[in-house]
Structure 1
Amino acid sequence: MRTVYDVQQLLRAYGIIVYTGDRKDDLLLMEMEVLDLYHSKFIDGETMKKAVMILRMGS
């Protein structure tokens, strides 16, 4: 996972599609969804950290 697109694909694998029309809001909502997946134990800590880092760099 290297790009925001890769994070979108990760979320899409769990049926989550984020699109508000505002990139900054999209990145924030995607981060919240990644954290929810982690807390629900759907993804591991390493995946969560990498995704959050990518999303924060994308803003």
Structure 2
Amino acid sequence: MKNGTSIRTMADVQALLKRFGAVLYTGDRLGDLHLMEEELAELHQLGLLETDSWLAARLVIQQEKRRVSSESDSIR
């Protein structure tokens, strides 16, 4: 996933994490998103994930967090 250009969806983020053996599912969508961010940050810090891929994945996760938050707000 060079240049982060192929990371555009949550499925792309999950596939990226799966390449490193990380499959995250707790049943709490926001919790899962936070864990994904932490895992990506650690992979980047260890030099296993390029900066552009890390940033692209973070952007997708942030967008998903906003979507999930707005959905839960509209339910209330």
Fold equivalence (TM over 0.5)? yes
Runs of 4 or more above 4 Å deviation? none
CA RMSD, Structure 1 to Structure 2 (Å): 0.5
When normalised by structure 2's length, the TM-score is: 0.76
In structure 1, the partner of 2:4 is: none
Runs (5+) with no aligned partner, structure 2: 1-6, 66-76
Give, in whole Å, the separation in 2 of the partners of 1:47 and 1:38. 9
SS of equivalent residue, structure 1 residue 49 = helix
- Partner Cα distance (2:37, 2:20) in 1: 14
Gapped runs of 5+ residues in structure 1?
none
The answer to whether residue 16 in structure 2 is matched with residue 10 in structure 1 is yes
User: Of the candidates 47, 51, 56, which is equivalent to residue 53 of structure 2?
Assistant: 47
Aligned partners of 1:56 and 1:28: how far apart in 2? Answer: 9
Q: Quick one: percent identity of the two aligned structures?
A: 36
Higher helix share: 2
The 1-side partners of 2:27 and 2:10 are apart by 15
User: Using the alignment, how far apart are the partners of 2:10 and 2:33 within structure 1?
Assistant: 8
- How many residues are aligned here? 59
For residues 5 and 20 of structure 1, what CA distance do their matches in structure 2 show? Answer: 17
The alignment's TM-score, normalised by the length of structure 1, stands at 0.96
